[in-house]
């Protein structure tokens, strides 16, 4: 075998080995995972080697959320609430501010790592809505948001604005988060359908419901 052919084969092997591996598990946050950086060099090139305590990227742990979009319409919900039309930020109540932010994001496509109206993921949706509407700071991931606020043990204790969490992934729990808006409904950024309204009673969500957290005082809404 000629030396040039051997060289080409070596290059191809290197590309196969390194070319499909993302440079960091935490591409979403724009920084390297420190725990991975400290691992032995023999493991650093394998993105499938991590501890449960490490941040696991969603593209390495895909969910199985339903393809179809829910049929619930925000207008049906608004009929039960005071109208938010023509209200400025100072006039609106906390509930109205939160609803207006949710409405703003409805039908926004899902984008892993996204945090804008051009594309957003589930935890960025809850984080952005709470930050922009009420100036409440939430952590960036669903798993970290699950540690915030007061634990709500039972579904019948849910109130408007509570964060609801679901087990939708194999290795990250919780893998999904949304905002409860009453009547058994919640707003969330679904990987398959974008920002939408769904019901906790839907079979898929009912089976995977993990619990809820109240991140603002009871009398806020």
Q: Which of 73, 79, 95 is nearest to 187 (CA)?
A: 73
Catalytic, 176? Answer: yes
Catalytic pick among 56, 122, 138, 142: 122
- Give 103's contacts (C-beta < 8 A, 6+ positions apart): 74, 84
Catalytic, 122? Answer: yes
Catalytic pick among 176, 208, 213, 214: 176
- Give 130's contacts (C-beta < 8 A, 6+ positions apart): 98, 136, 137, 138, 215
Catalytic pick among 188, 208, 213, 214: 188
Catalytic, 20? Answer: no
Please name the residue that has the structure tokens 């938010």.
Answer: 84
The span from the CA of 11 to the CA of 31, in Å, is 28
Q: How distant is the alpha carbon of residue 73 from its chain centre?
A: 21
CB hemisphere CA count around 135 (13 angstroms): 1
Please state the three-class secondary structure of 136-170 as a single string.
CCCCCCHHHHCCCCEEECCHHHCCCCCEEEECCCC
Active site residues: 122, 176, 188
């Amino acid at each position: 075998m000629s030396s040039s052919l051997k060289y080409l084969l070596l290059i191809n092997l290197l590309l196969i080995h390194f070319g499909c591996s993302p440079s960091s598990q935490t591409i979403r946050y724009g920084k390297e995972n420190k725990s991975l950086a400290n691992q032995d060099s023999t493991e650093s090139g394998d993105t499938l080697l991590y501890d449960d305590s490490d941040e696991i990227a969603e593209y390495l742990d895909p969910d199985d959320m339903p393809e179809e979009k829910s049929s619930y319409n925000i207008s049906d919900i608004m009929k039960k609430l005071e109208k938010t039309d023509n209200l400025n930020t100072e006039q609106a109540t906390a509930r109205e501010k939160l609803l207006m932010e949710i409405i703003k994001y409805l039908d926004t496509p899902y984008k892993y790592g996204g945090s804008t109206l051009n594309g957003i993921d589930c935890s960025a949706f809850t984080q952005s809505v709470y930050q922009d509407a009420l100036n409440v700071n939430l952590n960036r991931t669903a798993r970290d948001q699950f540690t915030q606020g007061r634990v709500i043990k039972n579904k019948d204790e849910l109130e408007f604005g509570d964060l609801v969490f679901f087990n939708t992934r194999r290795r990250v729990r919780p893998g999904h988060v949304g905002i409860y808006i009453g009547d058994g409904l919640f707003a969330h950024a679904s990987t398959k359908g974008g920002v939408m309204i769904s019901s906790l009673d839907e079979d898929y969500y009912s089976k995977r419901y993990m619990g809820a957290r109240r991140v603002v005082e009871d009398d806020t809404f």
